[in-house]
Amino acid sequence: MKLTISRYNPEKDKVPYDETFEIDDALIKHDTMLLDVLHLVREQDPSVGFRFSCQEGVCGSDGMNVNGKNHLSCITPISTLSQPIIIKPLPGLPIIKDLIIDMSLFYQQYQDVDPFLQTEPLDHEKEHLQSPEERAKLDGSYECILCGCCSTSCPSFWWNPDQFAGPAALLAASRFIIDSRDIKHIDRLKDLDSPTKTFRCRHIQNCTDACPKGLNPSRAIQELKSIMLKDL
Ligand code: SF4
Ligand code: SF4
Ligand code: FES
């Protein structure tokens, strides 16, 4: 099996370049994941840089672009990938080293939508109750693991990363905008009601296609726009 991996060490390389590694097919089983193969690559060359932690699709740290599509390597069966396997860092963000990117802008976009429940009065003795129907509305909007696979596959994010909020942050914003307990509904909508922050989304659905958790940021953004038109 051959893997071509994008390499870049800012201390010695002017631009990224590709390096091909060969892995013995006898080491590959039917349930081998791409991350397992990357560990084998690292046995050949310990300097190959990539992030990982949980190794089971929970932490969101091993997003990478594989054969042109963003994936989490730990839950991508190697048997589903056509060869040669071409691996690049998630697109649209600065490369720190090899497959490791600087996620600062992505996290800043998340922070900017105040991703926490705001209720009143602040009383730790009081429960903020929801009906089962109100709770059910949050399904599909709270399960995000912040892997970045969606935002870094979005053309609107690539071209206007400083203006467009990006699908992950907008999904997070929608999670609180539709929460019956949150009292900042109108403030949150007003903050996002701009031609660039939200309406730069063209619903091409790259984000939804890329999400390894099966979430649908594109639909959440569409619903967000509808709520803006109704409530503002
Ligand atoms: S649907 Fe919107 S957020 Fe998703 S990739 Fe397309 S432009 Fe980006
Ligand atoms: S919405 Fe999906 S692709 Fe985007 S950051 Fe969350 S889990 Fe990752
Ligand atoms: S290593 Fe945690 S999601 Fe892949």
Percent of the residues in the chain that have a pLDDT greater than 70, as a whole number:
100
Shortest-distance ligand to the CA of residue 50 = 3
Ligand 2 first shell, C-beta below 6 A:
60, 144-150, 168, 171, 210-211, 213, 215, 217
Count of alpha carbons within 13 angstroms of residue 205, beta-carbon side: 5
Q: Is the CB of 53 under 6 A from ligand 3?
A: yes
DSSP 62-114: -EEEETTEEEEGGG-BGGGS-SSEEEEPPTTS-EEETTEE--HHHHHHHHHT-
pLDDT for the residue numbered 124 = 78
User: SS3 of 200, please?
Assistant: coil
Write the pLDDT tens digit of every residue in 15-72: 999 999 999 999 999 899 999 999 999 999 999 999 999 999 999 999 999 999 999 9
More confident residue, 232 or 127: 232
Nearest atom, ligand 2, residue 63 CA:
8
Q: Find the ligand nearest to 147 CA.
A: 2
| Pocket of ligand 3 contains residue 60 by CB under 6 Å | yes
CA angle 123, 143, 69 (to 5 degrees): 150
| H or E element at residue 17 | strand 17-22
Type and span of the H or E element at 7: strand 2-7
Q: Residue 125 has what pLDDT?
A: 82
- At 177 the pLDDT is 98
Average pLDDT estimate for 67-78: 98
Q: Summarize pLDDT for 157-211 with one digit per residue, the tens.
A: 999 989 999 999 999 999 999 999 999 999 999 999 999 999 999 999 999 999 9
Distance (Å, rounded) from C-alpha 37 to C-alpha 23? 8
Segment 124-168, tens digit of pLDDT: 788 888 999 999 999 999 999 999 999 999 999 999 989 999 999
State pTM to two decimals: 0.95
Q: What is the pLDDT of residues 211-231, one digit of tens each?
A: 999 999 999 999 999 999 999
